[in-house]
Amino acid sequence: MNSADQQYLSIIKDILDHGYYDQNRTGIATYKLPHKMMQFDLSKDFPILTSKFVAFKTAVKELLWIYRDQSNSVVKLQDENVHIWDQWMKEDGTIGTSYGWVVKKYNQVDQLIHTLKTNPQDRRMVMSLWQIPHLDGGSLYPCAFMTMWDVTDGRLNCMLVQRSGDMPLGVPFNMTQYAVLVHLVSQVTGLQPGLFTHVINNAHIYENQIEGIREQLSRGEAPEAPKLWINPRIKDFYNFTVDDIKLVDYKHLGKIKMEVAI
């Protein structure tokens, strides 16, 4: 079994077997465990689940919306046939002072790339979406909210910290998106992709997702991981498009429908 499914399904089993059951702000109870972690060597494997279908292109579009476009416009996503933020759209068509808005407000991408190129041993390379003065102005407090970056022996390493992780729906997107982000930043800074470590503070499964998760666990051996292709001609981060980022030979065991909690 590939590394992504092996680590992910191990956490899923742990939550089902040992998770703490309680209510939360959504009104749909969860089984949850604290402080779960996955780690991938991006020079060897690309972390996307194959035990079920993950909408890679949609995930990449959302990633580019946050870090390339630095946008908060849900309408912009809808124009690209992405509807994952529809339930949180404000009257003005945005998600307010959250995600891409915060990236742009503090010029975080440019600062990271500049530091990686000029001072790669800096130990303060952090991008944070958790900016306290702006939290309540957003539709939703950011879930995957912080990345910390390191360069060791020419390899770019990244740790993603996620305060809250919807394991069936959100986490498969997030692990894939941020692995792509490491590859993109590596390419434009002349580094090689290294370790990607994903830390989830509250890893949970909603009560109404249990049936779907049990179906996923009951499936046979998950196919091997696909390869990631990135257009090697792109050297400016802001020039990447969704067509420059593709999976090669993505085989999976099919879709599983599960509900999102609002």
Instruction: Tell me the pLDDT tens digit for each residue of 68-108.
Output: 999 999 999 999 999 999 999 999 999 999 999 999 999 99
Round to whole Å and give the CA distance between 29 and 47.
Answer: 28
Q: Is residue 253 part of a domain?
A: no
Residue numbers of the domain that contains 63: 3-248
| pLDDT band at residue 15 using 50, 70 and 90 as cut-offs | very high
Instruction: Extract the tokens encoding 219.
Output: 């499936």
Q: Is residue 182 part of a domain?
A: yes
Q: Which of 2, 1, 4, 20 is nearest to 179 (CA)?
A: 4
Annotated catalytic residues are: 143
The CATH number of the domain holding residue 109 is: 3.30.572.10
| pLDDT band at residue 141 using 50, 70 and 90 as cut-offs | very high
256 three-class SS: coil
Give, for 108, the enclosing helix (H) or strand (E).
helix 108-118
Of the chain, the percentage scoring pLDDT greater than 70 comes to 100
Instruction: Tell me the pLDDT tens digit for each residue of 24-44.
Output: 999 999 999 999 999 999 999
Q: Is residue 55 part of a domain?
A: yes
Q: Is residue 262 part of a domain?
A: no
* DSSP letter string, 180-196: HHHHHHHHHHT-EEEEE
In the predicted structure, residue 262 carries a pLDDT above the cut 80: no
Q: Is residue 131 part of a domain?
A: yes
- Residues 125 and 159 sit within 8 Å (Cβ to Cβ): no
Q: Is residue 256 part of a domain?
A: no
DSSP code, position 138 = B
Instruction: Tell me the pLDDT tens digit for each residue of 213-243.
Output: 999 999 989 999 999 999 999 999 999 999 9
- Spatial neighbors of 132 by CB under 8 A, at least 6 apart, are none
Domain tally, the chain: 1
Instruction: Extract the tokens encoding 246.
Output: 């593709």
Q: Is residue 257 part of a domain?
A: no
Q: Is residue 260 part of a domain?
A: no
CA–chain centroid gap for 69, Å, is 16
Round to whole Å and give the CA distance between 13 and 1.
Answer: 15
